[in-house]
Amino acid sequence: MKKSYRFSTLCITLAINGCTSDFKPDSSASGEQIFQAACAECHQPLDENVPDVLFELHPKNMNAGFVKHKIYTGSIRMPKFPNIKGSKMHSLSTYVLAHSISK
């Protein structure tokens, strides 16, 4: 519950700003580095004793298409990241999927 509260506080601010992040990854950044820089402020491991698991995704969402779409378009509570693209988007979505379990 604590985590969802943190989400909503952050995104009240973000909603005012249009919920678009201008984050731009370094050309040499790995998927993990991008995640730490752009995503970890909101997405922490689900269980602190299992630091490798960041997401629990619906089986139909356990694929790069879903993850990339989510990052590129965001949602009401998650900013969109239009500057993460190409090989950076690919390495980030690979990192996310490698750290996700299916519901």
Cβ 57 to ligand HEC, closest distance in Å? 5
User: Inter-axis angle of helices 64-73 and 86-98, to 10 degrees?
Assistant: 120
Judged by CB under 6 A, does residue 75 bind ligand HEC? yes
Binding mask 33-72 for ligand HEC (x = CB under 6 A): -----xx-xxx-----------x-x---x-----x--xx-
Question: Of 38, 42, 18, nearest to 26 (Cα)?
Answer: 38
Minimum Å distance from CB 71 to ligand HEC? 5
Find the helix packing angle between 31-38 and 86-98, rounded to 10°.
80
Least distance CB 13 / ligand HEC (angstroms): 9
Task: Residue 66: name the closest of 40, 85, 93 by CA.
Answer: 93
Q: Which amino acid is at 28?
A: S
Binding site for ligand HEC (CB under 6 A): 7, 10-11, 14, 38-39, 41-43, 55, 57, 61, 67, 70-71, 75, 77-79, 81, 92, 96
